Amino acid sequence: MSELTLTVNEYRFDYVSEIKPERSDYGIIEALTPQQKYREANSTFVHKYGWGPFCRFSIPTQWTGKSGVYALNSSNGIVYVGEAQDLATRFNQGYGTISPRNCFDGGQETNCRINIHIRDEVIAGNSVSLFYRDTENRAELESELIDQHNPSREWRF
């Protein structure tokens, strides 16, 4: 693997960026708990990933509108493969900024789970890098890579 590409099976993925959670003035990744801001918190339950704590991060906006398959890679290898209709939206408004609603039943558990794992990896001293492959066959390629490569199970469930 070169620094700017990642090959998964025969597919080449381009480097997008390192995922860098925002830090306080003291260099600490803050523990965010957006579920406290949900106005209907008393009428539904927090799902198993909804307690966090979460971090905030983003990728460059030049990836807006890019539709394809992405891979998250850490020092432990490929830890997650997913597909996105808009890569920047998926990361900047989905995984990187956890909405209070997504912490509760019916919310986006995946957003919470991926955010938690990224935060944990970085706190453990590992870097997490995002790679992307442009394709119209997003779902098929994602499924193939998950079946053949079997990225980290704990990031999936």
Residue (of 95, 73, 78) closest to 16 by Cα position: 73
Cβ atoms of 86 and 93 within 8 Å: the answer is: no
Question: What is the three-class DSSP state of 20?
Answer: coil
Peptide bond into 34 cis (omega under 30): no
**Predicted local confidence at residue 2, as pLDDT:** 46
More confident residue, 43 or 104: 104
Q: Domain residues of the chain, as ranges?
A: 5-156
Write the DSSP symbol of residue 27: S
Give the tens place of pLDDT for each residue, 83-101.
999 999 999 999 999 999 9
Give the tens place of pLDDT for each residue, 39-86.
776 778 999 999 999 999 999 999 999 999 999 999 878 899 999 999
**Predicted local confidence at residue 1, as pLDDT:** 43
What mean pLDDT, rounded, does the chain reach?
90
Q: Which CATH architecture has domain 5-156?
A: 3-Layer(aba) Sandwich (3.40)
Beta bridge partners of 80: 72
Mean pLDDT of 111-128: 96
